[in-house]
Structure 1
């Protein structure tokens, strides 16, 4: 049964909800275990997994995406497979080769930089190790998650420019800082990509309007689903690369569908992150094969859902969160 807004009733979501906890190979975004809620709609399985620090107002958009993916037909795919990048956490240079080995055939690597407690010298060592492992033809991009101010970002990009960066993702936090940095480093030929300035912004088009980025990084769950993300890309008028939110294979399939539906896709996408898990909910997991992922929905394996079920208290925490976000979403849509 659905309500007047076309959403399923809350009970319909909770009836099939499974809460899972998946361990990571390496600490990433400050976590060692990734938790998610999976539930089944008429279109197939879907995922709700906003990071635990996000408030209900922001997380409600993730729930809207999960409902849309599980209950609504999706835009047609324009391609059958999606080329993806390897993702290198802020590990020591000596650990880079082992991380890259988990991403079969990937020709591009996104490297986390600006990790709290580390220095630019650590970033340089990590990026150098990736360049050495991938060779001169490999594509390298960095992601600072908005951690630098403009001067720090300019200094770091100078230090990393020798490694032939494809682009720098969210080097600074604000649109104004990105615009200033883009002016300062334009002569270096390193494009600026916006991620948080799109998915965490009240106005996701502001970064394009301000001339603060050369391309957008878009994620299906945080932007409200495949169709909402497509609308943002179309309005921004900038090239886009699709990335994950450290989803399970179920959620990654949503991101793959977004990448498949984009009119143009000039970049390898950050959707290979299931390779950062030691376990997943699908068999096989949606991990890169020859550097790419197939387009299509993913159905979790019941045995794996049982094996990686979250503890009872965490399950209760997540189901309460779903309920609160459902209420917030209902209130938002009734305005």
Structure 2
């Protein structure tokens, strides 16, 4: 993992803060999002791999945090980023309330294939989003690899009237994505690869296999802004920058990535601060008129105190960062 000269562990922990942000709606099984904020020479940065990730995977997130906090970033080519609303796997009647939190967004990403739910639940949710967005709005779905090829094909057929913009990671493997792409060519719906990029040993393999039409890139999981830009260039496909349910500090890292892309053909998934009840910045980095500004975020001292995690969680994150630092050093 390419990073700037690795800071001493003491320097990383000197101003570290562990926060716990309550969510307005349960999302990917999370009701409280934990994160560790660090302060480097370039400004505040974020280390927030999900708690279930092992240290090897989490170390890429630490490399990204160090790169953003301790090294200058690529120059932006735009000053604001258009973003989508994100609709968790809620009941259809909850959709208007979720979308109301995303000011001015004309694209919505809808979670589908949630464990314990049915295709009927997905259809109802997507149709509710389409109704709220109107015919001019753009609707994309994200299955997080939850369908096999037959299930995905069946779902796409059932959602034909939703006029989908694209399908994000409908199936788990590259072979499945390639097969599905062949099967649905008559519907002309692009396939976007997310987990097949950020969780893959070779993030370019999905593009090389012709299994996707665009790639989803996330700054933290991919090791930082500059590494993500390299992956996009190597893939040779349009890119959508998305968040990993970051705080406003981490979202600023994602916005920096989106701002540096040579082309930005799709609205980005960086509006997820709207899913939090509390954040670390005042104002939080939420969509306004459907866009986010580009620039670093400095946490508000009072808000930091209000969302500081308990001592046991601070100790847990400190131990985790220490282990990941050792992996990067080794």
Cα distance in 2 for partners of 1:161, 1:225 equals 37
After TM superposition, the structure 1 = structure 2 runs for residues 302-321 of structure 1, keeping only pairs within 5 Å, are: 302-321=301-320
Could you say which residue in structure 2 is the equivalent of 1:121?
Answer: 120
Structure 1 residue 278: Cα displacement:
0.2
Could you say which residue in structure 1 is the equivalent of 2:104?
Answer: 105
Could you say which residue in structure 2 is the equivalent of 1:275?
Answer: 274
Cα distance in 1 for partners of 2:321, 2:115 equals 31
Structure 1 residue 187: Cα displacement:
1.0
SS at match of 2:251: helix
Could you say which residue in structure 2 is the equivalent of 1:191?
Answer: 190
Cα distance in 2 for partners of 1:83, 1:255 equals 12
Are the structure 2 counterparts of residues 39 and 128 from structure 1 closer, same or farther at C-alpha, using a change threshold of 3 Å?
Answer: same
**For the aligned residues, what is the CA RMSD?**
0.8
After TM superposition, the structure 1 = structure 2 runs for residues 133-152 of structure 1, keeping only pairs within 5 Å, are: 133-152=132-151
Cα distance in 2 for partners of 1:299, 1:161 equals 44
Could you say which residue in structure 2 is the equivalent of 1:207?
Answer: 206
TM-score by length of 2: 0.99
Cα distance in 2 for partners of 1:187, 1:329 equals 46
Could you say which residue in structure 2 is the equivalent of 1:289?
Answer: 288
Are the structure 2 counterparts of residues 5 and 191 from structure 1 closer, same or farther at C-alpha, using a change threshold of 3 Å?
Answer: closer
Cα distance in 1 for partners of 2:4, 2:211 equals 36
TM-score by length of 1: 0.97
SS at match of 2:37: strand
Please give the per-residue CA displacement for 1:279-334, whole angstroms capped at 9, x wherever unaligned: 00000000000000000000000111110000000010001000001111112xxx
Could you say which residue in structure 2 is the equivalent of 1:13?
Answer: 12
Whether contact under 8 Å (2:4, 2:67) holds in the other structure is: no
Cα distance in 2 for partners of 1:5, 1:298 equals 21
Aligned length: 328
After TM superposition, the structure 1 = structure 2 runs for residues 1-335 of structure 1, keeping only pairs within 5 Å, are: 6-331=5-330
Are the structure 2 counterparts of residues 50 and 159 from structure 1 closer, same or farther at C-alpha, using a change threshold of 3 Å?
Answer: same
User: 192-201 vs 151-160, which deviates more?
Assistant: 151-160
Cα distance in 1 for partners of 2:163, 2:4 equals 49
Please give the per-residue CA displacement for 1:90-144, whole angstroms capped at 9, x wherever unaligned: 0000000000000000000000000011111100000000000010000000000
SS at match of 2:97: helix
- List 4+ stretches of structure 1 deviating above 3 A: none
SS at match of 1:82: strand
Please give the per-residue CA displacement for 1:186-236, whole angstroms capped at 9, x wherever unaligned: 111110000000000000000000000000000000000000000000000
Structure 1 residue 5: Cα displacement:
6.3
Stretches of structure 1 that go unaligned for 5 or more consecutive residues are none
Cα distance in 1 for partners of 2:156, 2:36 equals 38
SS at match of 1:22: strand
Please give the per-residue CA displacement for 1:145-169, whole angstroms capped at 9, x wherever unaligned: 0010111111111111210000000
